[in-house]
Every structure is written in C-alpha cells, then in structure tokens.
C-alpha cells in the first residue's frame, strides 16, 4: 500500500497533465472506497452524525442521508 501511495504522490505532482489527472481520478476512487468504511467505524465508536460531518466538511444532513440507510441495513442483518 505504501508503494501505491508513493506512486500516486509522484503522479499527482507530475508535469504531464495526463499522468496528474489519472492520479486525481485514482485518489477520488480511493476516497470513495475509504469514506464509508471510516463513517461506519466512527458510528461504531459512538460518533454523532454532526461530528462526522464536521470532519468530512459537509452538512450533518448530507452525511446522514448518504450513510444512515447503510447503517440501518447493517443493524437489521445483525438482528437476523
């Protein structure tokens, strides 16, 4: 993983826009994968939607709307 991060760091600072833009796209995909994992971890640790929203720099309503259903589905599966 550290090698991949180092590669992305080199790519994102490249003078070649094609390389730089591919790196931006890869970072976007990585953030999209990591965000739900970290939101779920925060909720498991008792964080409020407001606290999570502050750290993601979005509104409480936005983060709740995006992730509350996933949390409810996980709770439902745990009860079954």
Q: What is the pLDDT of residues 26-56, one digit of tens each?
A: 999 999 999 999 999 999 999 999 999 999 9
User: What's the residue count for the chain?
Assistant: 80
What is the overall mean pLDDT for the chain?
90
Cα gap 71→37, rounded to integer Å: 11
Q: Between helices 49-56 and 60-79, what is the axis angle to 10°? A: 130
Check if the beta carbon of residue 51 is closer than 8 Å to that of residue 58: no
Query: How do the domains of the chain map onto residue ranges?
Result: 2-79
Chain centre to alpha carbon of residue 5:
16
Number of neighbouring beta carbons within 10 Å of residue 49: 20
In this predicted structure, the answer to whether residue 8 has a pLDDT above a threshold of 70 is yes
In this predicted structure, the answer to whether residue 62 has a pLDDT above a threshold of 80 is yes
> Scanning the structure block, which residue is given the tokens 């720099």?
57
């Amino acid at each position: 993983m550290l090698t991949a991060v180092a590669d992305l760091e080199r790519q994102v600072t490249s003078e070649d826009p094609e390389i730089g833009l591919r790196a931006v796209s890869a970072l976007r995909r990585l953030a999209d994968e990591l965000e739900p994992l970290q939101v779920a971890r925060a909720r498991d640790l008792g964080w409020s939607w407001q606290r999570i929203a502050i750290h993601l720099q979005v509104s409480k309503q936005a983060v709740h709307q995006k992730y509350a259903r996933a949390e409810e589905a996980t709770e439902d599966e745990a009860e079954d």
